[in-house]
Structure 1
Amino acid sequence: MELKLPSPCVVILVGPGASGKSTWAAEHFAPDLIVSSDRLRALVGSGEDDIAASTDAFALLEVVVERRIARGLTTVVDTLGLDKERRVRWLGLAREAGMACVAVRFDTPAEECRRRNRERSAKRIPADVLTGQLRAWRSVKEELGEEGYDDVLAPEAAARVVPEVFVESNAAQARQSEAPVGLRFGLQVSRYPGGREGLGAWVREVAERAEQLGFDAVYVMDHFRQIPQVGRAWEDFLESWTTLGYLAACTTRVRLGTLVSGITYRNVAHLGKIAATLDVLSGGRAVCGVGLAWFEAEHKAYGWPFPSVNDRYALLEDALQLLPVLWGPGNKPFHGKVLDVPDTTCYPRPLQEHLPLLVGGSGPRTLRLANRYADAVNVFGDAAAVRERAKYLTRPVELTHLSTTLVGKDKNHLDQLIHQLRPRNANPEKYAATVNAGTVDDQIGRFRELSEAGVTEAIISLPDLDTLDAAAEVISAFRM
C-alpha cells in the first residue's frame, strides 16, 4: 500500500552507492523536491562524476537543505546519508521547523550494489570507495532506528507527499470499500466564468451536469460581488436567489440553497417569502441557509449598515424563530428581540412540510444557536475539528461540511491540476493543502473520515469544474 507522508516533510535517503536511492527518489518525488549531491557536483564541477568537486557539492547541499527546510518546503535529501552527524543535523532542522522527518533505508545486498556499479557507463564509484561504503553501512543501518525519525522506511514502499488531511486516508478508504456508508454530496458554485453573454448557459450546464453525476444538492454563495478568498471584486457574480430560481427550472432532483444568506442582506420576512416561493417552484427542493454575515466591505459598498456582532447574533436568533412561523399556517404576529412582524401571512406555503433551515458557521455561539433552532449546521475543518463541533449538538441537528476540493483521477492527473491551477509563484504544496488536493482514492478516505465524525452531507467547491467527472467517482463510493 502507498505510504502517505505529510506535506511538508523531510525525507533522508540512506544507503551505500548504487543501492537505488536516486532511482527511487525520481520515481516518487518531483525533481524540484530532490536535493541531490550528484546534481550539485555537476553544478560546482565539471559533471556528476567530478569527484574533486565533492567537498564543494556537500557544502552547497548543506546550505540548500537548511534553506529549504527553513522555508517549510518538502526536501528529499539524495546523498549517501552515511554520515550520522549530517543526518542528525537534518533531523534537528526538521524538528525546529515543525516538519515530519523520515529516513529511507536502502539495504541493497553488497553484490547487487557492486554489479550495478560495474554496469554504469558514468558515475562509476571506485571499487575501494564502494567497499568502504558497504563496510560503513553495516553499522549505519542499525543506528537509524535509534535516531528519532518519525519512521524508517524500506524502498519497497511507494511513498507520496500529501496534505495532512490525507495522511490517514488509506485506512479510511479501505473501510469504505469493505463496509460502505452513505453520504450525501452537494456542489457549491462560487465562481461564474466565461463572460455575461454565456453565463446563463454555463450555470445551467453545471447544475444539469451535477444532477446527472449524482450530486444531491447545488448551493450558491449569497454575496453581491466576489469575495476576496475566491477572486476579485469586479468578477462576474450572480445574485443568489435569482440564480436558484433559474436553476429550479433547469433541474428536477437536486435540492437548491444558499451557503449561506447573510442575515443583514434582506428583510427577514422577505427572505422567508423568497425561500417559500423557491420551494413551490422547485417542487419542494429549497434549503434556506442563513448566517451571521461577515463581509463588511460588501455592506459598505452597497450602502448597508453593518451592525455589531452582538446585534447580528440577535437578528440571526430572531430570524431562526421567525422563518418557520412564516412558513406555517395562519398569520399570527411575531415579536422577537429585534424583529417585529405584525402579520406573518405567507402563501403559498412551502411544499415541504418543514423547509430545512441551515445555519452556517463553526463558532461556539453559532453552534449553540443551530442546536436550538436549526435543522442543519454547516461547518469547516478536518474530521477532528468536526468532532469537536459536534459536541455542541445535543439534539438531532445534521452536520454538513463545506470544503474546497480538488480531485484528480490519479497522481499524475492531480499533479497536472495543481500546477495548472495554482496562482503564479504559489508553492504547489501549500496550494494543494489549501484546496484539499487529492486523488479519487484520497478523497474517498477523507470523506469516510468526515462521515465517521458525524457529517451527513459533504458540500464541495471545485477549483476546476472540469473535474466534475472525477468528483462523481468519489460520490459513487458512497452510494448505498
Structure 2
Amino acid sequence: MQIPDPALVVLVGASGSGKSTWAGAHYRAKEVVSSDELRGIVGSGPHDLDASTDAFAVLETVVAARLGRGLTTVVDTLGLDPSKRQAWRDAARAAGLPAVAVLMATPDAECRRRNASRDRPVPAPALAGQLRSARDVRPLLDDEGWDLVVPVTAEHVADEPAPTAHPTIDDRTSSLGLRAVLQVSRFPWGDDPLAWLTGIAHAADEAGFAGLALMDHLIQVPQVGRAWDPIPEPWVTLGAIAGLGTGLELGTLCTPVTFRPAGIIAKAAATLSALTGGRAFVGIGAGWWEREHAAYDIPFPPARERLDDLERAIVTMKALWASGTKAYDDHGVVLPETTSYPRPDGPIPVVVGGSGERRTLRIAAAHGDACNLRTTDEAELARLIGVLRAHCDDVGRPREDVAVTVLDLPVVGSDRDDV
C-alpha cells in the first residue's frame, strides 16, 4: 500500500517480527523514533529494561515535537498497548497528519527463531505474551479508526537489514540515462553550519543524487538571496563534505577564473580528488558579477580577456593533472615544470559554465569535458547543443567527448498536491 508522507507511522508487532528492519528499509534514520535506541541513550544499552520509563518519556517528547512540525514520524516500539497507540493516533490527528498502523504479520515460529538468535533474547514467557497480543491486535486496529492499516508479511522483511553501501556512480544513472547533481546555493544554516551541511550532503546521498555542487561567489547573488546571507568559500566547504564518506561527486558550479590562478584551482581539485577517491569535478567560467570583484579588490578585466584566461586555465589545469613533471608548452600556456602532488585519483572532469555561442561553447568543445547550459526552453537548449556540436566538428573533437549538463530548477512530487 502507498503510505502517505508526511504521516505518523506506528509499528505494531512482537519482538523478532522485523519492525526495525522494515523501518530502516523504508525511512531515514532520523524519522524513526525507537524505544530500543532511546534505552541505549538514557540507559546502559538497548536492552536495559530499567531505563524503559526514561526512554519512553524521551520518545513521547520527540514524537510530539516532530508531529508539531508536521514531520513524518515512525514510532518503533512493540505498539501492542492500545492506550499508547490511541494517544499517538490522537496526536497525529491534532497535528493534521494521517495516522498509519503498520502491522507485522510475521509467523510466531519465525519471531521465536529470530529472537533465539539474538545476543540478548527476550525471555520466552514475555515473548509468548507479545505473540498472543499480536494475534489479537488486527480487529482492535480496525476499530480504533486508523487512517490506514498496512499488514507486512514475513517474506517482505529480511532477517537482518542489508549493509548500507553507497551506490557507485553508474548506479546513480536514471532510466533515461541521466544523472542529477544537487547544486546548493542557499545556506540557511543557523548556529551550526557544519551540522546543516552534513545533513544536506547525507540527504542528497541517500536520495541517489550523483553529486553535490557549490556556487563560487564572494557575495550571495541577488537571484538567490540577500547580500548579507552566508555564502561559504566552496573549496573549504567541499573539503568538509569530503570527510563525510558519501558516494557523491563533489565540485564547483562554477568557479570564476578571475578569483584564483589556474594552478591553485588545479591543486585544490586534485586534493579533493585524492580525498574522495576520484570523485571531484571542476566547474569553471569567465566570471560575470563585477560587484563582488570590486568589493574584494579583485581585477575584473573585459569579457574578451576573461575568456582568454578561461581557455588558458583549463589547459593549465589539465597539464598539471597529467602524469610526469615535464615542462609544458602548448595552446599558449608555458610551464617550466608540471610538478603537482598529490595527483588526482582518476580524471577530473572540467565543466565549462556559460552559453556564449562564439567563445564559451567553442572553449568547451576544444578543452572541456562538459558544458553547463542554463535554459528553461527546450528549443533553445536544443539550439545551443547544436552550436556546441558544430564547434566540436570544427575543432576535430568527437561530439561524445563533451557532455551537456543543464542548470535547472525542477519541482518534484508524485502528484500535484505532493509537489
Q: TM-score, normalised by structure 1?
A: 0.47
* Mapped partners of 2:182, 2:283: distance in 1: 14
> Which whole-Å deviations, capped at 9, do the CAs of 1:44-82 have from their partners, x for residues lacking one?
xxxxxxxxxxxxxxxxxxxxxxxxxxxxxxxxxxxxxxx
Inter-partner Cα distance in structure 2 for 1:313 and 1:334 = 21
The structure 1 residue matched to 2:412, chosen from 407, 413, 416, is 407
Equivalent residue, structure 2, for 1:301: 295
Q: Is structure 2 residue 183 aligned with structure 1 residue 188?
A: yes
Q: 1:413 deviation in Å?
A: 4.0
* Paired letter, 1:359: V
Alpha-carbon distance in structure 2 between the residues aligned to 1:302 and 1:337 = 31
The C-alpha deviation readout for 1:422-451, integer Å capped at 9, x for no partner, is xxxxxxxxxxxxxxxxxxxxxxxxxxxxxx
Q: Distance in 2 between matches of 1:338 and 1:235?
A: 40
- Which residue does 1:356 correspond to in 2? 349
Q: CA, structure 1 residues 249+180, in 2 after alignment: closer, same or farther (shift >3 Å)?
A: closer
Looking at structure 2, the residues matched to 180 and 200 of structure 1 have their Cα atoms a distance apart, in angstroms, of 34
Q: 1:296 & 1:333 partners in 2: Cα distance? A: 35
Retained in 2: the 8 A contact 1:220–1:257?
Answer: yes
Q: Distance in 1 between matches of 2:309 and 2:328?
A: 13
- The one of 233, 243, 249 equivalent to 2:243 is 249
Alignment-derived partner of residue 263 in structure 1: 257
Judged with a 3 Å threshold, the aligned counterparts in structure 2 of structure 1 residues 333 and 307 are, in CA distance, closer, same or farther, namely: farther
Calculate the aligned-residue CA RMSD, in Å: 1.8
* 1:208–1:251 contact (8 Å) kept in structure 2: no
- Residue 318 of structure 1, aligned match among 301, 304, 312: 312
Distance 2:418 2:354 in 1: 33
Say if 1:413 and 1:399 are closer, same or farther in 2 by CA, change over 3 A: same
The yes-or-no answer on 1:221 pairing with 2:215 is yes
| Contact 1:221 1:259 (8 Å CA) reproduced | yes
- Mapped contact 1:204–1:250 kept (Cα < 8 A): yes
**What's the offset of the Cα at 1:199?**
1.1
Note the alpha carbon deviations across 1:242-300, whole angstroms, 9 max, x for none: 11111111133110010011001001111101100000001110001110111110000
Cα distance in structure 1, aligned partners of 2:324 and 2:333: 19
CA deviations on 1:225-256 (whole Å, 9 max, x unpaired) are: 21111111111111101111111111331100
Of the three residues 219, 223, 237, the one matched with 2:231 is 237
1:340 to partner: Cα distance = 4.7
Q: Deviations over 1:370-396 (max 9, x none)?
A: 011111111122321221111122322
Aligned to 1:348, the other structure's residue is in SS state coil
1:18-37 Cα shifts (integer Å, max 9, x gaps): xxxxxxxxxxxxxxxxxxxx
Asked if the contact 2:189/2:197 (under 8 Å) is kept, the reply is no
Residues 336/298 of structure 1: CA separation in 2 closer, same or farther (3 Å cut): farther
Question: How far did 1:407 drift?
Answer: 2.8
CA distance in 2, matches of 1:345, 1:334: 11
Alpha-carbon offset, residue 182 of structure 1: 2.3
The letter for the 2-side match of 1:357 is: V
Q: Which residue of 1 aligns with 2:283?
A: 289
- CA–CA distance in 1 between the matches of 2:277 and 2:331? 34
**SS of residue in 2 equivalent to 1:260:** strand
1:376 aligns with 2:370: yes
Q: Which SS does the other structure have where 1:324 is aligned? A: helix
Once residues 295 and 356 of structure 2 are traced to their aligned partners in structure 1, the CA distance between those partners, rounded to angstroms, is 27
Are residues 335 and 225 of structure 1, via their aligned partners in 2, closer, same or farther at CA, if it must alter by over 3 Å?
Answer: farther
For 2:220 and 2:332, locate their aligned partners in 1 and report how far apart those are by CA, in whole Å. 30
3-state DSSP of counterpart to 1:210: helix
Identity %: 42
How many pairs does the alignment contain? 234
1:89-104 matches, within 5 Å, as: none
Within a 5 Å distance, the mapping from 1:407-446 to structure 2 comes to: 407-414=412-419
Q: Which amino acid aligns with 2:209?
A: F
Q: Is the contact between residue 370 and residue 403 of structure 2 (CA under 8 Å) also seen in structure 1? A: yes
Q: Which whole-Å deviations, capped at 9, do the CAs of 1:157-196 have from their partners, x for residues lacking one?
A: xxxxxxxxxxxxxxxxxxxxxx95221111000010032x
Distance 2:315 2:175 in 1: 37
Whether the aligned pair in 2 keeps the contact of 1:225 and 1:234 (CA below 8 Å) is: yes
User: Where does residue 12 of structure 2 map in the other structure?
Assistant: none
C-alpha displacement at 1:338, in angstroms? 7.1
Structure 2 counterparts to residues 450-469 of structure 1, below 5 A: none
Which structure is higher in RCO with an 8 Å CA cutoff and minimum separation 6?
1
CA deviations over 1:394-420 (Å, ceiling 9, x no partner): 322100111122334432344xxxxxx
Counterparts of 1:282 and 1:292 in 2: how far apart (Å)? 27
Which blocks of at least 5 consecutive residues in structure 2 are unaligned?
A: 1-173, 393-398
Which residue is 2:64 aligned to? Answer: none
Q: 2:277, 2:345 within 8 Å by CA — same for their partners in 1?
A: yes
- Structure 1 unaligned blocks of 5 or more: 1-178, 415-480
> Counterpart in 2 of 1:201?
195
Change (3 A) 1:232 1:183: same
